[in-house]
């Protein structure tokens, strides 16, 4: 039976020290972040996802953004080598968790860098953002690992936001959604729908038309409702201050047979 598991990591008490690269830093409330993270995990569970917690890493302020540590394709976990050096220690425990879950594990090697938040998967197509965090060697290694498994890798320039998925994600029908000022090359995407809010660009597909999204994007939620989807809003204000979004707080494992 296909699994519906989601890997998550609880925020570090030092989360306020997390990286901020494309916006002004504002103060983060670590207690509120923990509460918001618990509600996020609860929303996943309420919609049928079993949450699996990878080991907490108090010394890694950005460890909660677990999406950046791995790219999943079928049952293969490609452990990343994050572009920000401070984030590299985050991958070890994720690798252990995924190996325990029965994934086949592969790695990005030096000089490659790649962040999971730069990889948007739509069916068998993997769009990969080439920006501050993911370099050309990282893109080449992504191709080498996943093309033989049937993936099509499409590289996309990213300069306005930290990660490709800070700018675009996709609806269940494959339509790419994005906030236009943040997208370098919208014409790369065959079907593209602009959204009116920056945090409206991020959805986690919960199944059956339900879209987990940030409470900070009410106009976009209205647009999606109007298109026949069911938005599931969660307040992630403390993660947004660190340029995080709903997608980067979990890794959904959809194709494991366990």
111 upstream amide cis, omega within 30 of 0: yes
Secondary structure E strands in 18-75: 50-53, 70-73
Based on CB atoms, which residue is closest to ligand CIR, 18 or 112?
A: 18
- Reply yes or no on whether 163 is catalytic: yes
Least Å distance between CB 245 and ligand CIR? 5
Least Å distance between CB 163 and ligand CIR? 4
Angstrom distance (rounded) from CA 199 to CA 217: 6
How many helices (H) and strands (E) are present in the chain, helices listed first?
6, 15
* Distance in angstroms between the alpha carbons of the first and the last residue of the chain: 7
Least Å distance between CB 228 and ligand CIR? 27
Least Å distance between CB 41 and ligand CIR? 17
Based on CB atoms, which residue is closest to ligand CIR, 21 or 230?
A: 21
Based on CB atoms, which residue is closest to ligand CIR, 59 or 222?
A: 59
- Reply yes or no on whether 245 is catalytic: no
Beta-sheet strand order (sheet of 76-79):
70-73, 76-79, 104-107
Among 103, 163, 202, 245, the active-site one is: 163
Least Å distance between CB 84 and ligand CIR? 6
Contact assessment for residue 104 and residue 76, using Cβ atoms and an 8 Å cutoff: yes
Contact assessment for residue 161 and residue 144, using Cβ atoms and an 8 Å cutoff: no
What is the number of the residue whose Cβ is closest to ligand CIR? 117
Among 60, 103, 245, 248, the active-site one is: 248
Based on CB atoms, which residue is closest to ligand CIR, 159 or 225?
A: 159
Question: Please, which residues have CB within 8 angstroms of residue 226's CB and are 6 or more apart in sequence?
Answer: none
Angstrom distance (rounded) from CA 191 to CA 170: 10
Query: Residues interacting with ligand CIR, by CB under 6 A?
Result: 18-19, 21, 62, 65, 67-68, 84, 87, 117, 162-163, 165-166, 242-245, 248
- Return the active site residues: 163, 248
């Amino acid at each position: 039976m296909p699994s519906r598991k989601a890997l998550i990591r609880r925020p570090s008490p030092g989360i306020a020290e997390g990286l901020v690269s494309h916006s002004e830093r504002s103060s983060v409330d670590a207690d509120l972040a923990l509460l918001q993270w618990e509600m996020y995990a609860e929303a996943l569970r309420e919609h049928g996802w079993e949450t699996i917690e990878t080991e907490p890493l108090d010394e890694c302020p950005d460890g909660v953004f677990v999406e950046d540590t791995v790219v999943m394709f079928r049952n293969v976990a490609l452990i990343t080598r994050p572009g920000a050096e401070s984030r590299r220690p985050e991958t070890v425990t994720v690798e252990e968790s995924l190996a325990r879950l029965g994934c086949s594990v592969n790695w990005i090697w030096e000089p490659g860098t790649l962040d999971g938040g730069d990889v948007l998967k739509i069916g068998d197509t993997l769009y990969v953002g080439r920006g501050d965090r993911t370099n050309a060697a990282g893109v080449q290694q992504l191709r080498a690992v996943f093309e033989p498994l049937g993936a099509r890798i499409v590289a996309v320039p990213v300069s306005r936001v930290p990660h490709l998925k800070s700018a675009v994600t996709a609806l269940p029908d494959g339509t790419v959604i994005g906030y236009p000022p943040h997208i370098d090359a919208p014409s790369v995407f065959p079907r593209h729908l602009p959204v009116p809010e920056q945090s409206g660009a991020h959805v986690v597909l919960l199944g059956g038309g339900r879209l987990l999204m940030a409470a900070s994007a009410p106009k976009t939620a209205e647009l999606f409702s109007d298109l026949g989807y069911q938005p599931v809003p969660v307040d992630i204000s403390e993660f947004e201050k660190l340029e995080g979004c709903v997608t980067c707080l979990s890794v959904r494992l959809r194709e494991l047979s366990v």
